[in-house]
A and B are shown apart, each in its own frame.
Chain A
Amino acid sequence: MSRRFWVYIEQEDGKVHPVAWELLGVARKLADQVGEDAVVEGILVGHNMDEAAQEALHYGAETVYVLDHPTFKNYLNKPYTSALRFLVQKHNPEVFLVGATTLGRDLAGAVATSLKTGLTADTTHLAMGEIKEDTKKLLLATRPAFGGNVIATIVCRNHSPQMATVRPRVFNPAPRTDEAKGQIVHETMEITPDMINAEIVEFITNAAATVKLEYADIIVSGGRGLGGPKGFELIKELADALGGVVGSSRACVDAGWIKYDHQVGQTGKTVRPKLYVAAGISGAIQHKVGMQESDFILAINRDPHAPIFDVATMGIVGDLYEVIPALIKEIKARKEA
Chain B
Amino acid sequence: MKYFESLKVTEEVTVFHALVSIKQVPDTTNIRIDPETNNLIRQGVPTILNPYDAHAVAAAVEWKRKLGGKVTIITMGPPAATTSLRECIEMGADRAILISARQFAGADTLATSYVLAEVIKEIHSKDPIDLVFFGKQAIDGDTAQVGPGVAVRMDLPVVSYAIKIHEVNLEQRYVIMERKTESRNEIIKAALPAAMTCEKEIAEIPYASLPDLVNALRYEPEVWTAESPIVFDVPQLGLKGSPTTVFKTGTPERHTAGEIFKVAEVDLDSVVKTALDRILAVEGMAAMVGVKK
Contact = CB atoms under 8 A, between A and B. Distances in A.
Contacts of B248: 152-153
Interface in A280-295: 284-286, 292, 295
A275 B245 contact: no
Contacts, number: 306
B257 A296 contact: no
A323 B289 CA distance: 18
A323 B31 contact: no
Contacts of B176: 201
Interface stretch (A34-42, A60-68, A113-121, A229-237): A113-121
Interface stretch (B57-65, B91-99, B139-147, B224-232): B139-147
Interface centre among A109, A121, A201, A313 (most CB of B within 10 A): A109
A334 interface: yes
Contacts of B284: 217, 274
B208 interface: no
Contacts of A316: 260-263, 271, 275
A122 interface: yes
B200 A146 contact: no
Interface in B238-293: 242-252, 255, 257-264, 268-269, 271-276, 278-279, 282-285, 288-292
Nearest to A275: B279
A145 B151 CA distance: 24
Interface stretch (A22-30, A97-105, A173-181): A97-105
A266 B28 contact: yes
A96 to B, nearest CB: 13
Given A150-B33, A152-B249, A274-B284, A197 B185 contact: no
A284 B274 CA distance: 26
B145 A206 contact: no
B186 to A, nearest CB: 5
A106 interface: yes
A314 B139 contact: no
Contact of A209 (B145, B182, B272): B182
A122 B142 contact: yes
A11 to B, nearest CB: 11
Interface in B121-165: 139-149, 151-153, 155-161
Contacts of A205: 184-185
Interface in A251-303: 260, 266-267, 274-275, 284-286, 292, 295-298
Contacts of B275: 298, 314, 316, 327
A286 B28 contact: yes
Contacts of B144: 105-106, 109, 121
Interface string B208-243: 000000000000000000000000000000000011
Nearest to A132: B247
Given A286-B28, A304-B262, A150 B149 contact: no
20 contacts: A77-B151, A103-B182, A106-B158, A112-B109, A118-B110, A149-B31, A149-B40, A150-B33, A150-B249, A152-B246, A193-B2, A196-B1, A198-B189, A285-B28, A285-B29, A312-B257, A314-B260, A319-B263, A322-B263, A323-B271
Interface of B: 1-4, 26, 28-29, 31-33, 40, 51-52, 108-110, 113, 139-149, 151-153, 155-161, 176, 178, 180-191, 194, 197, 200-201, 242-252, 255, 257-264, 268-269, 271-276, 278-279, 282-285, 288-292
Given A199-B4, A205-B185, 8 more contacts: A113-B145, A121-B144, A150-B31, A156-B244, A197-B191, A198-B191, A242-B289, A337-B292
